[in-house]
Amino acid sequence: MAKGIFVIGTDTDVGKTVVTGGLVYLLRSKGYNTCYFKPVLSGAINEDGCLIPGDTRFVKAVSGLEEDYQNITPYIFKTPVSPLLASKMEDKPIDVGVIREKFQYLKSKYDYIVAEGSGGLIVPLTDDGYMLYDLVRELDMHSIVVTRAGLGTINHTVLTVRYAQSVGIRVKGIIMNGYTGCSLCEDDNIEVIEKLTEIPVIGVIHRMDGIDVEKLEMGDLKEEFEKRINVKKLIELMNQL
Ligand SMILES: Nc1ncnc2c1ncn2[C@@H]1O[C@H](COP(=O)(O)OP(=O)(O)O)[C@@H](O)[C@H]1O
Ligand SMILES: [Mg+2]
């Protein structure tokens, strides 16, 4: 049975896909049979009338994963709004049963799964109030919170971690993304966040040039993750009870 980690963001555009892509790449490059899972994606790319899930395409390209789009991302919406609104606008309700089925399929085929949420944590998925955090809890995965490195991140990170914990999600680590090394607050943010949450910052990913998920530009992402993330620790974290 696969072990997994669910990557939660403090917000949309915070770097969940960049981080998830880096983690899936690292694990796969070290020989761990790992798959990506992005159950719901809105704002898909329209290429010659075909809807392409941009996040999924990016992670597959970075990591060399060859799984079919429909198994990794069962719900693909073209409208760039929240999942529930997109599902209503496109008249295609999200059936959590379908997400469960795909997850079970991936679990039987891979040893590790790194999942990515949509937006932040408090994200409605269905009309009857099933939320993204219900899914994280139900899939019984540990989670990692991806946060921005700069100003404002203490508030967003601590709120997200505390809320996640209050609904029973096991937050095992924090990854700070977009670190520049030239802002007065970045190093202090790391220290304060670790102290307030008592959760370790397991990686600090620097701001890189030439990286764009939608345009499939990956800059030096692979080298950056080789440098900043300890794979053994990541595996230990996924194997923790
Ligand atoms: N470490 C980084 N360095 C430079 N640009 C980044 C970095 N992380 C994210 N970005 C930029 O932000 C965009 C959004 O990141 P993404 O991972 O798609 O966010 P999310 O999945 O949380 O919505 C990317 O396309 C990229 O242009
Ligand atoms: Mg994303």
Q: What structural domains does the chain harbor?
A: 3-239 (3.40.50.300)
- DSSP assignment of 77-118, as one string? ESSSS-HHHHHHHTT----HHHHHHHHHHHHHH-SEEEEE-S
User: CB of 117 closer than 6 A to ligand 1?
Assistant: no
What's the pTM? 0.97
What is the rounded CA–CA span in Å between residue 20 and residue 137? Answer: 19
Q: Tell me the catalytic residues.
A: 38
Letter for the amino acid at 50?
Answer: C
First to last CA, the chain: 14
Name the residue of 213, 221, 223 to mutate for ligand 1: max ligand atoms within 8 A of Cβ.
Answer: 213
Distance from residue 211's CA to the centre of ligand 2 (Å): 13
With a 6 Å cutoff on the Cβ, whether 221 touches ligand 1 is no
Q: Which two tokens stand for residue 92?
A: 């295609």
* C-alpha 108 – ligand 1 centre gap (Å): 30
Distance 100 CA to ligand 2 centre (A): 20
How confident is the prediction along the chain (241 residues), in pLDDT tens digits per residue? 678 999 999 999 999 999 999 999 999 999 999 999 999 999 999 999 899 999 999 999 999 999 999 999 999 999 999 999 999 999 999 999 999 999 999 999 999 999 999 999 999 999 999 999 999 999 999 999 999 999 999 999 999 999 999 999 999 999 999 999 988 899 999 999 999 999 999 999 999 999 999 999 999 999 999 999 999 999 999 988 7
User: Ligand 1 atom 2: the closest Cα is on which residue?
Assistant: 207
The string of DSSP letters for 197-208 reads H---EEEEEEP-
Contacts of 116 (CB under 8 A, 6+ apart): 6, 7, 16, 17, 20, 36, 37, 38, 55, 59
Q: Are 98 and 74 in contact (CB under 8 A)?
A: yes
Give, as one character, the DSSP assignment of residue 191: H
- Ligand 1 closest atom vs CA 14: 22
Residue 172 beta carbon below 6 angstroms from any ligand 1 atom: no
Q: Are strands 45-47 and 50-52 parallel, antiparallel or unpaired?
A: antiparallel
**Parallel, antiparallel or unpaired: strands 40-42 and 75-77:** parallel
DSSP at 150: S
